[in-house]
Structure 1
Amino acid sequence: MKILSRICSLLVLTGLFLSCGEEVNPNFQEEVAQPEFYHRSVKKLTDVIVHDIFSPPQAGRIYAYSSIAGYEAFAAGDPGLNTLAGQIPHLQPLPQPADVSGDVEIAYPIAAVAAQLKVGKSLIFSEEKIEAFEDEIFKEFAAIKVPAATLQASIDYGHAVADHVIKWYDGDTYKQSRTFPKYSISADPSKWQPTPPDYMDGIEPSWSKIRPFALDRSDQFKPLPPTKYSEEKGSDWWTEVEEVYNALKTEDDSEREERTAIAQFWDCNPYVSHHVGHVMFATKKITPGGHWINIAAIAARKAGADFKTTTHAYAMTSMAMHDGFISCWDEKYRSSLVRPETFINRHLDEDWRPLLQTPPFPEHTSGHSVVSRACAVVLTDIFGDDFAFTDDSEVEYDLPERSYNSFLEASEEAALSRLYGGIHYRPAIDYGVTQGEAVGKHLLSRVQPRANLTKKK
């Protein structure tokens, strides 16, 4: 047996492909470093988020922690990437490869996929869907003829990183917030009321208490307040209401069609209910954060981004959206402003319905405006100011693709879509963009994944 062991070692050291009956691909490290493996893992998580119907803030949290886990597992083997531990003040140093694998070689792209999937699986309901995908993708890695010991060590390391992240996120107040009080409906006509057709309770009224990544506190970038409520015709408030009411009443057919297309493209409502007589059914779609995660994928593919840049892009985009939702929800439940649908039905037209179904939470500021801008700011930092792209995120939901000259241009259209959709007044959109810009830039000032870039002040 000792002689056989020495022969096996010699075969490996001399670079032959067969080691004790195991066929090994000498180029496996290059082949597993194809970023498409990671793109597919993130897309699988998106599909499960859609299936399980998570709210936009919840989905942002899932993307953030799973993307950080994938990034950290890959960064451990790439000197060009900085760990986020310490940059995110409450993230403690992560396990080191040697602590898990000993002297066995690790394929860090495999570790990244394993970490991202395990954390994602821990945060969704349909675990079996992720487990089936894990079986599939790990078999693909094995088919590349990664040495069995390396494949197992890589998965083990990814899982060790995931366990660290799971323990970390367990302290972000999410679990405690499940028992916090629901939104209390007020008799004040300026305050938010549940809207048709389901009259759902306000979603996540305590989301501002969730721990952010870069923000010092949830109200750090508190936006300007909404326009003073008024039922007097000719007031500033009334003018803003009429802008929403008349947004799709233009006599120019092409303009009306374009506004409708913009609103529908950026709808991103994870649960739209339909009532036909006594029958109710739902349409599931990606969340606003899911849309921007997909834009990150589109940009990375178009740029030919390597695994390093791909994990970097997903991590920064998801952290921006998570902090963006915390900042936005802090204002939503502070101002607790009535939605256009409620006011218009009471005072202008009782039969009016917005083009889009009104989401179940207060109006000011617009979540699309905040989150889209925050994500656009960090993607611009990674891929450039004039990065033109075609967004096909909604094609699987039977909507045509749209093209943009930059991420910021796309974020501006996403924000304006909420006016055309009939669910936001102008200030929520404009102030939301400003708010999101501040969140994104603050994240860039605090967190710098790339080791070859100077950290911004």
Structure 2
Amino acid sequence: MKILKQSLIIFFVFACQYCQAQSTKRTPYPNYLQINHAVNAVTMVMVHDVVSPPVAARYYAYCMLGAYDIVSVNNKKIPALNSFVKSYLPNNSLTDLTIKYDYKIAAYYSILETAKLLLPSGFMLSDDEEAFIRLLQKNGVDQNIITNSVKVAEMASAAIVAFSKSDHYSQLSALRRYTPLKEDGKWYPTPPAYMEAVEPNWKTIRTLVIDSATQYKPTPLIPFSKDSTSAFYGQVKAVYDASKHLTPEQINQALFWDCNPFAVTTSGHMAIGYKKISPGGHWMHITALVAKQANLGFDESIMLISLEGITLMDAFISCWEEKFTSNRIRPETFINKYMDVKWQPLLQTPPFPEYTSGHAVISNASAELLTYFLGDNFAYTDNTEIPFGSGQRNFKSFREAAAEASMSRFYGGIHYMESIEKGNKQGKQIAAGILYKIKKAGIEPLRK
């Protein structure tokens, strides 16, 4: 336990130093309001809690909604949440306020406060809130403004938490326990940890913008077959053959986009866990990074990062619905049973069914959203994985990054090409549906 605490302290210090280094770039609003700091603080708690990918996306979405609500009340150019988020009622307590406060401070604080109320170890964010207030005081912000802004943030967060309670998340534990099917072609737990399936009932979670979990279902998958001449066997063999001839660049891509919160390795009889950022967390950090690079104002940044969180949540619900409907076997299981008992993929196989690829779905959905707002040729350096053990990569566009993220799962040996290709299409369809709703609400591109 002592070693674990020391490791966590080192991890948090390194992450904070990384964020401080990033804040040296020119930005259009005060350093103490850098939104990426708040997003990073939320991520660190989720890494600590080992939050699964779909659950992490839900937390990111809700953590940003209070901030969006506050900004939209104070900036009429930002459409209200209820203009595109289903079932969300306007927070009249915000519109009727008469106290004097700084809405940007309130919005920033709301991100931390909502996460504090929702996350299992949310209490850890109390330190971040206190540090934020001290920073405001150090920068000469009037104490009455600080106090009132915190009150407004708490009001907004309370409303979002109340809204979140109606999305069926609290009812998941009461649903029937998932039992893997011992049938040919069906998903079964994989080594080294043989973990239980992650969130098999996630399709019951209420979507925020798209109509339902089944609105953007992919086309039917290739039927399972052990026949070496079949299309399915060909899909498996392609994974197997590729794993034998990976280039250093392909290996780098696979490792860079790993984003596995449950990574486990074994040494003798000992199992060692590694905590990493989730796939959705990676794209949230990319969004915060490019918002700074584009020199977006505070309000625009809150809007963009909030919409990314919303897109991630809906994309994961849609993807997970298909995963546990088709319930397809992973390459590792098939290859070990029918082709090569000693074969191992480059990446650890995640504990849920194969079809469609979650990375493909959420990366393409994210890329389409960001391309709409910032353009098709927005070049950037993705260094968001540095605190989590990876290096950095350069991209000429968001679509290029999404394509690489998708293929990384094939190189990693955990997805068939069919799942990647159809996952790409599914993600783009989800983004198109969300963009249709937000365009209808009057949200325009941030760069033309």
TM-score computed with the length of structure 1 as normaliser:
0.88
Partner of 2:352: 361
How many angstroms apart in 2 are the aligned matches of 1:279 and 1:452? Answer: 52
Per the alignment, residue 394 of structure 1 pairs with 385
Q: Which residue in the other structure is 2:73 paired with?
A: 76
User: 1:110 deviation in Å?
Assistant: 0.6
Match of 1:258 in 2: 249
Letter in 2 for 1:62: Y
Question: In the alignment, which residue of structure 2 is the partner of 1:305?
Answer: 296
Aligned counterparts, 1:12-27, within 5 A: none
Distance between the aligned counterparts of 2:236 and 2:335, measured in 1?
7
> What SS class does the counterpart of residue 130 from structure 1 fall into?
helix
Counting aligned pairs with the same residue, the percent is: 35
Q: How does 1:7-406 map to 2 (within 5 A)?
A: 36-97=33-94, 99-100=96-97, 102=98, 104-250=99-245, 256-406=247-397
Kept in 1: contact 2:356–2:423 (CA 8 A): yes
C-alpha distance in 2 between matches for 1:77 and 1:446: 22
Over 3 Å counting, the alpha-carbon distance change for 1:31 and 1:220 in structure 2 is closer
Deviations 1:302-335 (A, max 9, x none): 1111101210111111111100000000100010
Choose 296-305 or 395-404, whichever is displaced more: 395-404
Structure 2 distance, partners of 1:385, 1:245, is 34
Tell whether the 8 Å contact from 2:64 to 2:111 is kept in structure 1 after alignment: yes
Measured on the aligned residues, the alpha-carbon RMSD in Å equals: 1.8
The Cα shift of 1:125 comes to 2.0
Q: Does 1:434 align with 2:425?
A: yes
Pairwise CA distance, 1:395: 1.6
| Segment drifting more, 280-289 vs 398-407 | 398-407
Q: Any stretches of 5+ residues in structure 2 without a counterpart?
A: 1-26
Distance 1:428 1:269 in 2: 18
Aligned-pair distance for 1:83? 1.1
Letter in 1 for 2:147: Q
In 1: Cα distance, 2:68 partner to 2:439 partner: 13
Q: Secondary structure at the match of 1:40?
A: helix
C-alpha distance 413-351 of structure 1, shift in aligned 2 (>3 A): same
Number of the residue aligned with 2:15: none
- Cα distance in 2 for partners of 1:279, 1:207 equals 32
Letter paired with 2:62? Y
Displacement over 4 Å in runs of 4+: 30-36, 448-452
C-alpha contact (below 8 Å) 1:121/1:130 kept by paired residues:
yes
d(CA) in 2 for partners of 1:385, 1:113: 29
CA distance in 1, matches of 2:268, 2:56: 32
Displacement after TM superposition at 1:35 (Å): 7.6
Check the 8 A contact 2:373/2:444 in 1, yes or no: no
Secondary structure of residue in 1 paired with 2:82: coil
User: How many Å separate the matches in 2 of 1:401 and 1:37?
Assistant: 21
Residue deviations 1:184-211, cap 9 Å, x none? 2212111001111111111111101100
- The equivalent of 1:23 in structure 2 is none
Q: Distance in 2 between matches of 1:295 and 1:392?
A: 8
CA distance in 2, matches of 1:356, 1:348: 19
- Kindly report which structure 2 residues correspond to 1:436-451, keeping only aligned pairs within 5 A, or say none: 436-448=427-439
Given that residues 338 and 362 in structure 1 are in contact (C-alpha distance below 8 angstroms), is that contact kept between their aligned partners in structure 2? yes
Bigger Cα displacement from structure 2, 189-198 vs 141-150:
141-150
- Measure, in 2, the Cα distance between the counterparts of 1:420 and 1:139: 47
Which has the larger displacement, 118-127 or 443-452? 443-452
* 8 Å contact kept, 1:57–1:322: yes
Q: 1:190 to 1:208 in 2, by over 3 A?
A: same
Classify the secondary structure of the residue corresponding to 2:89: coil
Give 3-state SS (helix, strand or coil) of 2:92's partner: coil
Q: Per-residue deviation at 1:128? A: 3.1
Looking at structure 2, the residues matched to 392 and 80 of structure 1 have their Cα atoms a distance apart, in angstroms, of 32
Cα gap change, 1:201/1:90 in structure 2, threshold over 3 Å: closer, same or farther? same
Which deviates more from structure 2 when the two are superposed, residues 348-357 or residues 125-134?
125-134
Who is 2:4 aligned against?
Answer: none
State which drifts further: 223-232 or 137-146: 137-146
Contact 1:358 1:423 in 2 (8 A): yes
Letter paired with 1:87: F
Contact 1:109/1:307 (<8 A) preserved: yes
Moved more, 142-151 or 112-121: 142-151
* Higher Cα Rg, which structure: 1
* Runs of 5+ unmatched residues, structure 1: 1-29
Match of 1:6 in 2: none
- Are the aligned partners of 1:32 and 1:107 in contact in 2 as well (CA < 8 Å)? no
Deviation at 1:452, TM superposition (A): 6.6
C-alpha distance in structure 1 between counterparts of 2:320 and 2:153, whole Å? 33
Tell me how far 1:31 sits from its aligned partner: 9.2
User: How far apart are the structure 2 equivalents of 1:363 and 1:217?
Assistant: 21
